[in-house]
Each structure stands twice: as structure tokens, then as C-alpha cells.
Amino acid sequence: MHPIVELAKQTIAAYVKEKKVPGLPEKLMPEMAERAGVFVSIHKKGGLRGCIGTFNPTCKNVAEEVIRNAIEASTRDPRFPPISENELADLEISVDVLTVPEPVKSAAELDAQKYGVIVKSGVRRGLLLPDLPGVNTSEEQIAICRQKAWIDADEPVELFRFQVRRFH
């Protein structure tokens, strides 16, 4: 298991069991020391159980983003009840570290396997990570992002793409 995923897993366990926020590792590996947006995704028996993240960095480094978003994904994802202690052994965790989002002119510049997408209209934004099961086209990505952000299909939007380094 990659150390970034281990940090997320330890954070979730400590917070769920004891409401403790763990400290940073003594020595940060290079991937943990940089600044980037981070998504923590939690699955249980193949189904999504929590996913929260940041488009852009909000903390000093990736390690802090992982800790913050692991707690959020496990206890504050509005789609799910908080994770309980008896679920911990069944969880699969992945961490996506995002590149800086870049604007694109159209769906033609997207690729559902390679790029994540952000759709923006005013203050409303929807994000979808790349390479997700069942999402095969950029048009599907955009439609899901619109739905997540409550943006109508005919509303004009700004599109952004990003790549991820996915850790399991």
C-alpha cells in the first residue's frame, strides 16, 4: 500500500474510532510535501462509500490535504452516513492527487480515461475524476458534472480538465 493511502487509512481509523486527527508523518516523501488538490475515495464491497476532495490546494501540503479529506470523506459526505468502526476492515481507499486544472474550449479536448473534468457556471462547479467505471465519454463526464452542480443542460459553462496520480 502506498504511503499516501496508508496515511488516509490511518486517518480514517483514528478519527472513526477516537475522533483523533493524526499528526503528519515525521518525514514527508516528495509526493506528500508538494501542494495540490486531493480527493480521497472510499469504497466498500465495490460500491462508493464516500468521496470528498479539493480542486485546488487548501493546506500546506498533500499530506495535510489527505488527512483533511480522509476525515471529510469518511464522516461528512452528504450522500452517506458516517463510516462506523465495524466497517473499517471492509474499506478500500484510493487517493487522487490533482494537477492544476486548465481551461478547455470544448469536449473535444477531453478524454474520460485521461482527464478529470470541472464544469463551472457562475459559482456552481461540478467535478468528476477520470477513469471511472461506467463513464466512457467526455460527454458523460460533463453531464454528470452538470447534474452534481445543478447546472441545466442548456446553460453555458466553462470547462476545465486535470490529470491525477491515483494511489491505491
The enclosing domain of 94 has a CATH number of 3.30.700.20
Please report the pLDDT score of residue 115 as a whole number.
98
Task: Give 82's pLDDT tier (boundaries 50, 70, 90).
Answer: very high
Same domain, 71 and 113: no
Bigger pLDDT: 114 vs 27? 114
Please report the pLDDT score of residue 123 as a whole number.
96
Same domain, 40 and 80: yes
- Give me 126's grid cell: 461540478
Of 72, 98, 124, which residue constitutes the final position of a domain?
98
Residue 74 CA, chain-centre distance (Å), reads 12
Which residues share a beta bridge with 126?
A: 119
- Would you give the DSSP letter of residue 130? S
Tell me how many helices (H) and strands (E) the chain has: 4, 8
Per the prediction, the chain carries an average pLDDT of 96
CATH number at residue 152: 3.30.1490.150
The proportion of the chain whose per-residue pLDDT surpasses 90, expressed as a percent, equals 96
Determine the Cα–Cα distance for residues 73 and 49; give it in Å rounded to an integer: 8
Contacts of 120 (CB under 8 A, 6+ apart): 149, 157, 158, 159, 160
Of 65, 98, 131, which residue constitutes the final position of a domain?
98
Please report the pLDDT score of residue 76 as a whole number.
96
Any idea how long the chain is?
168
Please report the pLDDT score of residue 6 as a whole number.
96
Residue 36: domain span: 3-98
Contacts of 143 (CB under 8 A, 6+ apart): 153
Mean pLDDT, residues 118-141 taken together: 96
Task: Give 75's pLDDT tier (boundaries 50, 70, 90).
Answer: very high
Same domain, 70 and 90: yes
Confirm whether 168 is domain-assigned.
no
- Would you give the DSSP letter of residue 84? P
Query: Which among 168, 16, 147 has a CA at the least distance from the CA of 79?
Result: 147
